[in-house]
Amino acid sequence: MESNFTIFNKQNVTAEEIAAVLRLKHRLVLDDLFSKAYELKLKYRGPYVYFRGLIEISNMCRKNCLYCGIRGANEKVLRYELTNNQVLEEAQFALDAGYGSVVLQGGERNHRAFTERITWLIKEIKKLRKGDTAAGKNPSSRDISLGITLSLGEQTKEVFQEWYDAGAHRYLLRIESSTRELYEKIHPQEGINKELHLYDKRLQAIMDLKSIGYRTGTGVMIGLPWQTYLDLARDLLFFKEIGVDMVGMGPYIPHGDTPLGEQYLKEELGELSNDDKLLLSLKMIAVLRHLMPHINIAATTALQVLAPNGRERALMAGANIIMPNVTDLSVKGNYNLYDGKPGVHDDAGATKNQLEKNLENMGIPIGWDSLGDWR
Ligand code: 5AD
Ligand code: SF4
């Protein structure tokens, strides 16, 4: 059993060797993989899980990724945009709840009014202090300001820089798949859409974020049509090669109103049952913890679609970040990247209580009021 995982200590572990681990099925061997990953998390990052309050600012998007429920061409989506006040109230909730950070996530848009508004919001969020209310500032608040992560798609380097200068210090931009051919299969590659969905542009954007100084996060979807174990192994090596600070990866969950949703189930990994897909996602997380023991690894919401305790199981396999949703209930149900989004009827308070209870039962402490950066 031991010999299965010593490969991760080698400098030059190969994609084939990693793929062999991802294919493992024996329960005892997998338990060993997960518990070793958990030990590595304890050793390098301590026992804590860190929260980032997720604010889904808008479901408007100029793109048409073939897998995504809020793709621009999906006319069934009721489009919304949170008001500035809503965003700030949700950020204040996250701060008061002790989350330490917020993630501003939304569809990709690039007109100037949008990018300027984000700059303004970043600056305003940075001014919030714990215990402030609409009636006024909290005079006794400790000087904690929220960490800000952005997840707003590809932008020009100038815009990335502007947002960084305004106070955002992390950015999430998934590569979706590091295999160019697969990336091209799951994104439109024809007509006016093509320019918006180029693999090289995505890669360049990730490099731009790194060079500006963002703590940069990326990730992939797991269980895509056409995807192979070798693709996934290469994804893990890709994260290591470019040296990311955070990874958020989760299962691909088909959305009925998307082109890829229909393609699903026809290919190698498409045949996976939900249980197998969850297990594969846990294996990816555990192997990544072995390869990059210091970084932040998210237990993503999509895991929760496959099993109610999917995220908690990810924590036991090496993940250390959870992004509780703090988005206003009135719009939460419209931000559907995939079918079956969990918790759309729970408000931010209920979400927090449930998570706290689950984590307490598992004996996992929460890193309250902390940024939880690894460097
Ligand atoms: N299943 C799982 N994840 C999805 N995303 C988009 N659509 C889906 C889906 N159907 C993920 C993408 C994107 C992130 C915001 O959501 O990886 O980067
Ligand atoms: Fe837009 Fe992101 Fe969905 Fe692509 S994955 S359509 S960029 S929201």
The response to whether residue 302 sits with its C-beta less than 6 Å from ligand 1 reads yes
| Ligand 1 atom closest to 67 (CA) | 10
pTM above 0.85, yes or no: yes
**Ligand 1 pocket check for 108: Cβ under 6 Å:** no
Q: Is the Cβ–Cβ distance between 223 and 280 less than 8 Å?
A: yes
Q: Write the CA distances from 87 to 82, 95, 110, 149, 209, integer angstroms.
A: 6, 12, 19, 14, 24
Phi, psi of 215 (to 5 degrees): -70, 115
Q: Which residues line ligand 2 (CB under 6 A)?
A: 61, 63, 65, 68, 70-71, 107-108, 153
Contact 237/19 with Cβ under 8 angstroms?
Answer: no
Handedness of CA 20, 23, 25, 31 (dihedral sign): positive
Terminal alpha carbon distance of the chain: 33
Q: What is the mean pLDDT of each run of 10 residues along the chain (375 residues)?
A: 71 94 95 97 97 98 97 97 97 96 98 98 96 72 84 98 98 98 96 91 98 98 94 98 97 92 63 90 98 98 94 97 95 93 93 95 95 92
Residue 328 tokens read as 């206003």
Q: How many CB atoms lie within 10 A of CB 322?
A: 25
Q: What pLDDT score does 3 carry?
A: 53
Ligand 1 centroid–CA 58 distance in Å is 15
Q: Which of 108, 150, 337, 341 best tests ligand 1's pocket when mutated (most atoms within 8 Å of CB)?
A: 337
Element spanning 308, H or E: none
Task: Count CB atoms within 10 A of the CB of residue 158.
Answer: 10
Q: Is the Cα dihedral 299, 301, 302, 306 positive or negative?
A: positive
pLDDT for res 1: 44
Would you state the structure tokens that stand for residue 146, as one six-digit string? Answer: 């929220």
Q: 113 vs 88, 106, 119, 232, CA distance in Å?
A: 18, 15, 10, 38
- 56, exposed or middle or buried, with CB in 10 Å at 0-12, 13-18, 19+? buried
3-state helix, strand, coil in the chain (%, to 5): 45, 15, 40
Atom number in ligand 1 closest to CA 260: 10
**Protein residue with least CA distance to atom 6, ligand 1:** 68
Ligand 1 within 6 A of CB of 109: no
Atom of ligand 1 nearest to the CA of 221: 17
